[in-house]
Structure 1
Amino acid sequence: MTTERRTEHIPSGPSRPNPLTPPSWLLAGLRPSSAPIPWAGAVRAAIALSVPLAVGFALDEPEFGALVSMGALSGVIGDTADAYRMRVLNIAVPQLFGAVGVALGTLVFGHGWVAVGALTLIALVSGMISSIGTVASVSGLLLLLNAVVGAGLPMPRPWWTAPLLLSAGGLFVLALTLLGWPLRGRHPERAAVAGAYRAVADSLEAAGGPSYEERRLQVTLALNQAYDLVLGRRARVHGRSSSLVRMLSQLNVLIPLVEAAPAVHLRGRPLPAEIPAAVRELAAAVEAGRTGVPGLELPEPRSQSERALDAALRHAATIVPLAEPDLHNVDDRLGRPAALGIRTRRAVRDMMMSRASWRYGLRLALCIGLAQSLVSLVAVERSYWVALTVTFVLKPDFGSVFSRAVLRALGTAVGLVLAAAVLSEVPRGWWDVPVMALLAALIPAFSAKGYAFQTAAITPVILLLSDLLNHQGFDLIRPRLLDSLIGCAITLVAGYLLWPESWHTRIGDRLAGAVDDAARYLERAFAPVADEVALRAARQHRLQARRRIYRELSGVRSEFQRALTEPPPTGARAAAWWPLVVAVERVVDATTAARVRVNHGADPPAPAEVETIAKELRGLAEGLRNSSTLAGVRVVPLPPGAEESVLAPVHQEVSAARAIAQPDRRP
């Protein structure tokens, strides 16, 4: 069997004939994303930030209104989830940390070096918290941001006033967000499950063609999102929620379709149009919540892969319309999280024992300590903006620190142009309310386009709120730019250049781990079984392993895409290794396809053959770990007689991966 080799486009750093042409990593950050504008979020942001100002002016307390709007700004930035329950966590939990942060900052305001020490310690805790997960990362960010604001700006007395007002702004955003819950409570989850079906339909439509691998990646992302939304609560909840059980069963019956897709793709011929259309019909039934059995007209299967696809599709058609699936026949082990208490204990333990967590906490503490020490020794106007800039930029989990520093400087400059026009032309008072509504609506719209765009949108909002607190007007512009540049410089030197891990990439280790996972997945997929009970257990373990490895490969892709935005040598090395990421994904696809063929009549491979391929993969992983040039990796020819084996495509993909890793293919 032979398969056509396809090469994914690599966003490498080509040579630049014109020295004035910006580098590719910078252009990538300045290029707006194709993500759609969240219009509902834009409307919520306009209401959330302008209404508190209007109330403040009406009560003749504009400073209080500005503080509530500041809290609302944090809620607007943190409202990034889809499911309503996750949105509660994403907004409410960080607000609690933000309230603690501003209270601590207020208590050390005006205390000189005591404030420096306190903010440095808070930065250490904030950095370590950020390593736990997404919600914790935003919580740590808001803890430090509000502490810096509280320590740098005079807040109303007593000390609890500012935390109360900021929290009120965040809760106002949360209330606006939850207005649609009674009408659309399950819509985000259903839409995610339906989106996974549509992604599978697209991949089946592209099977045998050059766009299949890109569509297969979209399937992985869609499945990750759907499982995260549906199983994003404690395990005990699903037993009392028939709608959740139904969505979970619809997701689980999609897995055999996902597994059959690589086998169909390896044939090299497109599928009949009726098959993708049938999957899209199931997607529509999932999203609409229909219970009628869809009438599918499917062609007669003619090969092992088509039989696997036909069986999976017909089984899905019987499960999707069930209004009340059997609670005891729904397996949620493919992605179910542990209980909340267990996850909390694990997260705290991992944070305290993780070297990466301590390294990031120390990096952030060093930069904040330097920023606060500098502004304590040198007279810098609006000095708290220096530490604010450091906090925003030094977030490795948000992307490349280097490119974020550069993009923040550019975005701030653009935002200051808009802020200058507002502060010079708009009189302070009621005119600030409609102006704030317009500027606030730009934040979700611009945030969807990229970090530089988000910075450009947030800058005038922060300056307008600062003007209401300090009444400095146009005089805020120059110190804002200067402080941002100082903060970016501190981050680049103390948070990036002084830490070799920043510019000596570790992406090879992450990729080596994925290759080892591919070897284990191969062994598990073709492990011998003694009886029917062992066969069912082995199938369940294989499904769990497949979900884990595809999720891991998705994470590896994200890590490489982040590294591509770094300047040389990190970006150049990531671009050179990117084809190997694609090759490892193809190895996993070929393994899945081989397992599907065996399930539907093909002869299983000999254990010795499985062991040989697994050994080759582990050799490749060892080469990735031990040598940046992979000098010990060589192409292994296909063993005699292996051309007729069900694992022949796997042999070919492994050989292709090892060929990519040869020294003469490296930079």
Structure 2
Amino acid sequence: MSTEQARPERSTPHALAPPSWLLEGLRPSSAPIPWAAVVRAAVALAVPLAVGFALDEPEYGALVSMGALSGVMADTADAYRMRVYNIAVPQLFGAVGVALGTLVYGHGWLAVAVLTLVALVSGMISSIGQVASVSGLLLLLNAVVGAGLAMPRPWWIAPVLLSAGGLFVLLLSLLGWPVRGRAPERAAVAATYRALADALEAAGTPGPGYEERRQAVTQALNHAYDLVLARRARVHGRSPSLVRMLAQLNVIIPMVEAAPVAHQRGRPLPPEIPAAVRELADAVEEERTGTGELDLGLPAPSGPSERAIESALRHAAAIVHAPDPDPYHVDDRLGRPAALRTRARHAVRDVMLSGDSWRYGLRLALCIGLAQSLVSLVEVERSYWVALTVTFVLKPDFGSVFSRAVLRAVGTAVGLVLAAGVLGEVPRGWWDVPVMLVLGALIPAFSAKGYAFQTAAITPVILLLSDLLNHQGFDLIRPRLTDSLIGCAIALVAGYLLWPESWRTRIGDRLADAVDDAARYVERSFRTDLGDDPEALRAARVARIQARRRIYRDLSSVRSEFQRALTEPPPAGTRAAAWWPLVVAVERIVDATTAARVRVNHGAEPPRPEEVERIAAHLRELASEVRDDLAALPVRPRPEDSDEEGVLGPLRQEVVAARAIASDQV
């Protein structure tokens, strides 16, 4: 497949048609609706209201539902243990935030200063990771709400009620833990086998199918390792089922490495091979293990690629159907997380010393400070909604700030239409419970389809809860729209246009780093200084696998950056579309390196050290040119470097293709 086939298509639009970046954001995602989360959200938001009405304390019920809304938005993890962290930790930060906001409520410029400082801290800790990002978001959101909305007294009631709502969501999400146990981890491992089967089925066929399915394998493998190793870090050596799942993940690596070899041969694999991998996936998910090796029914291999896959497949079948493996002979170096103390130390260091962390914290603090100063100087109804909008929009780790501002305005307008019907036609009281049951169910369903859809679903829920707290009814509609537009404008100007790095995309730097990593991976794959020491060879193999997985993870992040940039207006969006083929080219270089290593393992003559060094040098030149934004024409490989003989022939072709793509961008 040519890398040009992977370039995002941008047809010339009609003069009156909306811009492509807006249409991209409004196009619903194909992600499936999480029905379990839909049910949890409906129950979590409606039950507190029912209890509040039953106790004749609707305001308390509304605050618990507001806390449940935060828990619903954070309830995105698969594994039960990860749900505890994803929901409980942000709720703790949210409780601190609402307590701070409540204490400065009505204190004018003191509230402005405190919220600005909270915004700085929120922005800085958001750079640590996903849980920290959501925690920072709730810290600031609840501080803004506490500072702008009269809360029940004394000050500790609001934190307790909001936390109770989040913990109620956590309780609902953990109901299946006693009966389902480690089903999410098993499902993730089985999904990795099925993704590999799809990739093997597409191997050797024309078109972009193989590359897309290989990316799906990488995502599934990373997700499965994250789930299994996050749990194994706490129960190392004491859980036979987790040890078995880790062994099942480890033995899929040789099949993943053999897939590029099968693709390079240019003809499809026998259908028995992907069918056997799917049978292993079923065995993993149904726990049909320890029953003896499965009869795979594979045909006789017809070449080195099929021999490599057959060998890896038979080894995987033996592990999948073996008795419990010895926990001290299962290698978890392929993804084992560092100790908690080490990760905490690195997180603090990254927050305090990272330029990106400080830049984002200062951007968020500037915008929140401006929003709070504005509403302190100019009378604005429901003024805290301005800062809330800024907080939601100005989350670069959640997507493009520009497109989020525009999509939030669109989503808010749509949500207000629905809210107008609810506030105008439904009488306040017990009728709010079934209405909230329906509106709550829409949040996870719409969130799966995109940011604008999520905003449209959340808006009527927030307005209904706000009405229960301040009893303004239909009069909430106009200030909600006005405040949201003001918040979007502040985020666009002070959080986007004034920071050139946000609209002059820096994807070239990350892509250049990935090319440098590819050069090191080429050198690591063909080392000649290891001798015959089995332990050294084993350590080198593990290091090579870790390096390949790290490159694919980084390239996945680069892809996300490109997808984010594609939703930006020109010049960032058009520049990202032009560079997209080079991302595909780098992935193909890594695949070609892996395929060459597999062929050497199965008898092909190893490349000469000078060949390896020459290809690595070309890749480093390419990385330098990408990092410099191609200020000079790239130096093309010399004719003798394009010789297609030898095990590195396909790799040379991919490097030449990547250099040609880079030349086109000058």
Q: Superposed, which structure 2 residues align to 1:121-520 within 5 Å?
A: 121-209=117-205, 210=207, 211-233=209-231, 235-291=233-289, 292=291, 293-520=293-520
* Match status 1:658 vs 2:655: no
Letter in 1 for 2:611: E
Distance 1:60 1:228 in 2: 46
Task: Name the structure 2 match of 1:597.
Answer: 599
Distance 1:469 1:189 in 2: 42
Deviating more after overlay: 637-646 vs 525-534: 637-646
Distance 2:201 2:28 in 1: 29
Letter in 2 for 1:324: D
* TM-score normalised per structure 2: 0.98
Distance 2:325 2:160 in 1: 46
Letter in 1 for 2:112: V
Over residues 586-644 of structure 1, what are the superposed CA-to-partner deviations in whole Å (9 max), with x where a residue is unaligned? Answer: 00000000000000000000000000000000000000111x24533133245269322
Q: CA RMSD of the aligned region, Å? A: 1.1
Task: Name the structure 2 match of 1:73.
Answer: 69
Is residue 234–residue 337 contact of structure 1 (8 Å, CA) maintained in 2?
A: no
Over residues 201-253 of structure 1, what are the superposed CA-to-partner deviations in whole Å (9 max), with x where a residue is unaligned? Answer: 00000001121111111111111111111112463523111111100000000
Is residue 418–residue 460 contact of structure 1 (8 Å, CA) maintained in 2?
A: yes
Letter in 1 for 2:59: E
Letter in 1 for 2:297: E
Is residue 234–residue 340 contact of structure 1 (8 Å, CA) maintained in 2?
A: no
Deviating more after overlay: 298-307 vs 308-317: 298-307
1:355: how far off? 0.4
Distance 1:232 1:658 in 2: 40
Distance 2:85 2:565 in 1: 29
Distance 1:531 1:154 in 2: 73
Letter in 2 for 1:532: D
Distance 1:594 1:425 in 2: 68
- Which secondary structure does the structure 1 equivalent of 2:570 belong to? coil
Distance 1:398 1:196 in 2: 26
Is residue 367–residue 491 contact of structure 1 (8 Å, CA) maintained in 2?
A: yes
Task: Name the structure 1 match of 2:531.
Answer: 530
Is residue 12–residue 576 contact of structure 1 (8 Å, CA) maintained in 2?
A: no
1:260: how far off? 0.1
Distance 2:513 2:346 in 1: 22
Distance 2:153 2:277 in 1: 61
- Which secondary structure does the structure 2 equivalent of 1:212 belong to? helix
* Match status 1:10 vs 2:11: no
Over residues 488-508 of structure 1, what are the superposed CA-to-partner deviations in whole Å (9 max), with x where a residue is unaligned? Answer: 000000000000110111100
Deviating more after overlay: 236-245 vs 20-29: 236-245
1:666: how far off? 2.0
Gaps of at least 5 residues in structure 2 are none
Deviating more after overlay: 234-243 vs 206-215: 234-243
Is residue 408–residue 455 contact of structure 2 (8 Å, CA) maintained in 1?
A: yes
Is residue 638–residue 652 contact of structure 1 (8 Å, CA) maintained in 2?
A: no
Task: Name the structure 1 match of 2:609.
Answer: 607
Distance 1:601 1:136 in 2: 48
Over residues 551-591 of structure 1, what are the superposed CA-to-partner deviations in whole Å (9 max), with x where a residue is unaligned? Answer: 11111111111111111111111100000000000000000
Distance 2:468 2:538 in 1: 66
- Which secondary structure does the structure 2 equivalent of 1:240 belong to? coil
- Which secondary structure does the structure 2 equivalent of 1:238 belong to? coil
The match for 1:92 among 66, 88, 92 is 88
1:341: how far off? 1.5
* Match status 1:588 vs 2:590: yes
- Which secondary structure does the structure 2 equivalent of 1:289 belong to? coil
Task: Name the structure 1 match of 2:640.
Answer: 639
Deviating more after overlay: 314-323 vs 441-450: 314-323
The match for 2:35 among 16, 35, 39 is 39
Gaps of at least 5 residues in structure 1 are none
* TM-score normalised per structure 1: 0.98
Is residue 304–residue 602 contact of structure 1 (8 Å, CA) maintained in 2?
A: no
Is residue 3–residue 585 contact of structure 2 (8 Å, CA) maintained in 1?
A: no
Measured at CA, do residues 297 and 152 of structure 1 come closer, stay the same or move farther in structure 2, by a change above 3 Å? same
Over residues 236-287 of structure 1, what are the superposed CA-to-partner deviations in whole Å (9 max), with x where a residue is unaligned? Answer: 5231111111000000000000000000100001000000000000000000
Is residue 77–residue 83 contact of structure 2 (8 Å, CA) maintained in 1?
A: yes
Is residue 634–residue 659 contact of structure 1 (8 Å, CA) maintained in 2?
A: no
- Which secondary structure does the structure 2 equivalent of 1:179 belong to? coil
Aligned pairs, number: 660
Distance 2:351 2:539 in 1: 33
Is residue 641–residue 652 contact of structure 2 (8 Å, CA) maintained in 1?
A: no
Task: Name the structure 2 match of 1:550.
Answer: 552
Over residues 341-388 of structure 1, what are the superposed CA-to-partner deviations in whole Å (9 max), with x where a residue is unaligned? Answer: 111111011110000000000000000000000000000000000000
